[in-house]
């Protein structure tokens, strides 16, 4: 059997020495190439920590993480990252911001201009390539940040609540845009969110974390059509998943009437 694209085995993370905060407790997870996996869980349960371990930005205290069978010891080459704050550089225009990963990777920016323009067109920002971030709305900025994370055609995309700061309508639209990008490119995506509905809409699989220390309490492959339209949110199967996860959070004491 080929190694899973991502494999985490017994991953625990303790911050601040032996008596410090246990953020992750024995996480075991395998993710296949091309999956869209959401990590869903309460605030402080270690979702971001786990994502940072996958990104090679944090080391596990115990356990191991591997990408295509090779241990993750630093940021993998084929990696794209998008976080809640878009981290656009205000003194660069949008096109230059999207081109930054080429610069960091020591590539010739000129070779990626066309790719960057295609990405901007795909998310409706073609006419803003030479605008500065300050002239864009929050949703437009986040779209640009997503283009940037996709510039180098990463095989692994890690997203940490990228839409958390946006209004509901913009968030819905960006969910659709991201879904289209994923359908087109099938980059393996690990997506952190607090939103049950967002997770069900976007994911092929949902992994639910317990309150800190983060443990996996559920790992559910979603039986929904691969290609989703907004109307799926009214479908009985969709509602039955959102109900299921809401009940799970209720039984964990995380939400109540």
- Of 4, 9, 14, 21, the one binding ligand ATP (CB under 6 A) is 21
- Of 1, 2, 16, 169, the one binding ligand ATP (CB under 6 A) is 16
Pairing of β 62-67 and β 6-15: antiparallel
CB under 8 Å to 105, separation ≥6 — which residues?
Answer: 152
Least separation, in Å, of the C-beta of 56 and ligand ATP? 15
Q: Is residue 193 within 8 Å of 199, Cβ to Cβ?
A: yes
Q: Note whether 81 binds ligand ATP by CB under 6 A.
A: no
Binding mask 190-229 for ligand ATP (x = CB under 6 A): ----------------------x-----------------
Name which of 97 and 193 has its Cβ closer to ligand ATP.
Answer: 193
d(CA 240, CA 229) in angstroms, rounded, equals: 17
Question: Which among 41, 20, 18 has a CA at the least distance from the CA of 254?
Answer: 41
Q: Is residue 116 within 8 Å of 99, Cβ to Cβ?
A: yes
Q: Note whether 47 binds ligand ATP by CB under 6 A.
A: yes
Q: Note whether 44 binds ligand ATP by CB under 6 A.
A: yes
Backbone phi, psi, residue 69, to 5°: 80, -5
Give the footprint of ligand ATP on this chain (CB under 6 A): 15-16, 21, 23, 41, 43-49, 212
């Amino acid at each position: 059997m080929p190694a899973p694209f991502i494999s985490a085995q017994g991953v625990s993370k303790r911050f601040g020495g032996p008596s410090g905060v246990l953020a992750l407790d024995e996480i075991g997870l395998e993710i296949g190439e091309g999956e869209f996996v959401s990590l869903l869980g309460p605030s402080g349960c270690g979702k971001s920590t786990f994502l940072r371990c996958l990104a090679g930005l944090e080391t596990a205290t115990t356990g191991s993480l591997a990408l295509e069978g090779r241990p993750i010891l630093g940021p993998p080459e084929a990696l794209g990252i998008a976080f809640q704050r878009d981290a656009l550089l205000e003194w660069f225009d949008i096109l230059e911001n999207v081109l930054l990963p080429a610069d960091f990777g020591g590539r010739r920016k000129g070779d990626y201009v066309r790719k960057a323009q295609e990405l901007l067109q795909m998310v409706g920002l073609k006419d803003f390539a030479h605008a500065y971030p300050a002239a864009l709305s929050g949703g437009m900025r986040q779209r640009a940040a997503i283009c940037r994370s996709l510039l180098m055609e990463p095989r692994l995309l890690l997203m940490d609540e990228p839409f958390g700061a946006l209004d509901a309508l913009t968030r819905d639209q960006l969910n659709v845009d991201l879904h289209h990008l994923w359908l087109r490119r099938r980059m393996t995506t690990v997506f952190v969110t607090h939103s049950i509905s967002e997770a069900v809409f976007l994911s092929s699989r949902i992994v639910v974390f317990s309150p800190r220390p983060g443990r996996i309490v559920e790992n559910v492959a979603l039986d929904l059509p691969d290609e989703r339209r907004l109307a799926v949110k009214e479908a009985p199967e969709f509602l039955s998943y959102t109900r299921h996860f809401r009940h799970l959070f209720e039984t964990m004491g995380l939400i109540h009437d």
